[in-house]
Amino acid sequence: MDADLFAAMVEKLAFTRAVKVTMESMASPPGRIPEAELVELSHWFNELNAEGEKMVTRAVALAAGQAVLTFLCILDGAQAIEAGPDKGHLELLYVKGDTRILLNDRRKEPLNDKFHWHWPATGTKSL
Protein backbone atom coordinates (compact mmCIF):
# COMPACT_ATOMS: atom_id res chain seq x y z
CA MET A 1 0.00 0.00 0.00
CA ASP A 2 1.22 3.47 -0.85
CA ALA A 3 -0.41 6.89 -1.17
CA ASP A 4 -1.29 6.38 -4.85
CA LEU A 5 -2.97 3.04 -4.21
CA PHE A 6 -4.74 4.47 -1.15
CA ALA A 7 -6.17 7.36 -3.22
CA ALA A 8 -7.27 4.92 -5.93
CA MET A 9 -8.97 2.71 -3.34
CA VAL A 10 -10.71 5.73 -1.80
CA GLU A 11 -12.01 6.63 -5.25
CA LYS A 12 -13.27 3.09 -5.84
CA LEU A 13 -14.56 2.23 -2.36
CA ALA A 14 -15.83 5.61 -1.17
CA PHE A 15 -16.63 7.83 -4.15
CA THR A 16 -17.78 5.32 -6.79
CA ARG A 17 -19.64 3.18 -4.27
CA ALA A 18 -21.36 6.20 -2.70
CA VAL A 19 -22.67 7.31 -6.08
CA LYS A 20 -23.75 3.79 -7.06
CA VAL A 21 -25.49 2.99 -3.76
CA THR A 22 -27.18 6.40 -3.63
CA MET A 23 -28.57 6.01 -7.14
CA GLU A 24 -29.72 2.44 -6.44
CA SER A 25 -31.38 3.55 -3.19
CA MET A 26 -33.25 6.32 -4.99
CA ALA A 27 -34.42 3.93 -7.69
CA SER A 28 -35.47 1.24 -5.20
CA PRO A 29 -35.28 2.04 -1.48
CA PRO A 30 -33.67 -0.83 0.46
CA GLY A 31 -35.09 -2.54 3.50
CA ARG A 32 -38.41 -3.97 4.54
CA ILE A 33 -39.66 -0.58 5.74
CA PRO A 34 -37.62 2.17 4.04
CA GLU A 35 -37.59 5.63 5.55
CA ALA A 36 -40.47 7.82 4.37
CA GLU A 37 -38.11 10.50 3.07
CA LEU A 38 -36.32 7.98 0.86
CA VAL A 39 -39.60 6.56 -0.43
CA GLU A 40 -40.76 10.09 -1.30
CA LEU A 41 -37.44 10.80 -3.04
CA SER A 42 -37.71 7.50 -4.90
CA HIS A 43 -41.19 8.32 -6.21
CA TRP A 44 -39.90 11.66 -7.51
CA PHE A 45 -36.74 10.13 -8.98
CA ASN A 46 -38.58 7.32 -10.76
CA GLU A 47 -40.77 9.87 -12.55
CA LEU A 48 -37.77 11.60 -14.14
CA ASN A 49 -36.93 11.22 -17.80
CA ALA A 50 -33.48 10.02 -18.91
CA GLU A 51 -32.05 13.56 -18.94
CA GLY A 52 -33.35 14.21 -15.43
CA GLU A 53 -31.79 10.96 -14.20
CA LYS A 54 -28.49 11.95 -15.76
CA MET A 55 -28.56 15.35 -14.05
CA VAL A 56 -29.36 13.79 -10.66
CA THR A 57 -26.50 11.32 -11.11
CA ARG A 58 -24.16 14.19 -11.88
CA ALA A 59 -25.32 16.10 -8.79
CA VAL A 60 -24.83 13.02 -6.60
CA ALA A 61 -21.35 12.50 -8.08
CA LEU A 62 -20.47 16.15 -7.46
CA ALA A 63 -21.54 15.88 -3.80
CA ALA A 64 -19.70 12.58 -3.28
CA GLY A 65 -16.57 13.91 -4.99
CA GLN A 66 -16.58 17.08 -2.90
CA ALA A 67 -17.05 15.10 0.31
CA VAL A 68 -14.15 12.74 -0.47
CA LEU A 69 -11.92 15.60 -1.61
CA THR A 70 -12.64 17.61 1.54
CA PHE A 71 -11.91 14.59 3.73
CA LEU A 72 -8.58 14.03 1.95
CA CYS A 73 -7.78 17.74 2.44
CA ILE A 74 -8.43 17.25 6.17
CA LEU A 75 -6.05 14.28 6.22
CA ASP A 76 -3.44 16.30 4.31
CA GLY A 77 -3.74 19.35 6.56
CA ALA A 78 -4.95 21.53 3.69
CA GLN A 79 -8.27 21.94 5.52
CA ALA A 80 -7.80 23.00 9.14
CA ILE A 81 -9.69 21.11 11.82
CA GLU A 82 -8.68 23.40 14.67
CA ALA A 83 -8.29 27.13 15.09
CA GLY A 84 -5.31 29.13 16.25
CA PRO A 85 -1.66 29.40 15.30
CA ASP A 86 -0.50 26.21 17.08
CA LYS A 87 -2.26 23.55 15.00
CA GLY A 88 -1.46 19.88 15.07
CA HIS A 89 -1.53 17.58 12.07
CA LEU A 90 -2.88 14.15 11.27
CA GLU A 91 -0.78 11.15 10.32
CA LEU A 92 -2.42 8.35 8.37
CA LEU A 93 -0.50 5.11 8.75
CA TYR A 94 -0.97 1.90 6.83
CA VAL A 95 0.20 -0.91 9.10
CA LYS A 96 0.72 -4.49 7.98
CA GLY A 97 2.83 -6.73 10.18
CA ASP A 98 5.96 -4.77 11.06
CA THR A 99 5.55 -2.43 8.09
CA ARG A 100 4.29 1.10 8.78
CA ILE A 101 3.76 3.46 5.82
CA LEU A 102 2.84 7.11 6.27
CA LEU A 103 0.24 7.71 3.57
CA ASN A 104 -0.15 11.46 4.04
CA ASP A 105 3.53 12.38 4.20
CA ARG A 106 3.66 16.19 4.25
CA ARG A 107 6.91 16.12 2.23
CA LYS A 108 5.22 14.36 -0.70
CA GLU A 109 2.31 15.00 -3.05
CA PRO A 110 -0.86 15.44 -0.98
CA LEU A 111 -3.59 12.79 -1.09
CA ASN A 112 -6.13 15.33 -2.34
CA ASP A 113 -4.00 15.86 -5.46
CA LYS A 114 -4.06 12.12 -6.11
CA PHE A 115 -7.86 11.89 -6.04
CA HIS A 116 -8.98 12.01 -9.69
CA TRP A 117 -12.67 11.23 -9.70
CA HIS A 118 -14.63 11.17 -12.93
CA TRP A 119 -18.22 11.93 -13.73
CA PRO A 120 -20.32 8.77 -14.08
CA ALA A 121 -20.58 7.59 -17.67
CA THR A 122 -24.36 7.28 -17.57
CA GLY A 123 -27.31 8.76 -15.80
CA THR A 124 -29.19 5.52 -15.52
CA LYS A 125 -30.68 4.23 -12.29
CA SER A 126 -28.54 1.09 -12.52
CA LEU A 127 -25.08 2.68 -12.64
- In this prediction the pTM is 0.84
C-alpha–C-alpha distance, residues 34 and 39, integer Å? 7
* Residue 127 CB coordination number (10 Å): 18
Alpha-carbon gap, residue 39 to 15, rounded angstroms: 23
| Interacting residues of 106 by C-beta distance below 8 A, sequence separation 6+ | 76, 77, 89
pLDDT tens digits, one per residue of 7-47: 999 999 999 999 999 999 999 999 999 999 999 999 999 99
> Which tens digit of pLDDT belongs to each residue from 27-38?
999 999 999 999
In the chain, the largest separation of any two C-alpha atoms, in whole Å, equals 54
Residue type, 68: V
Mean pLDDT in residue range 115-125: 65
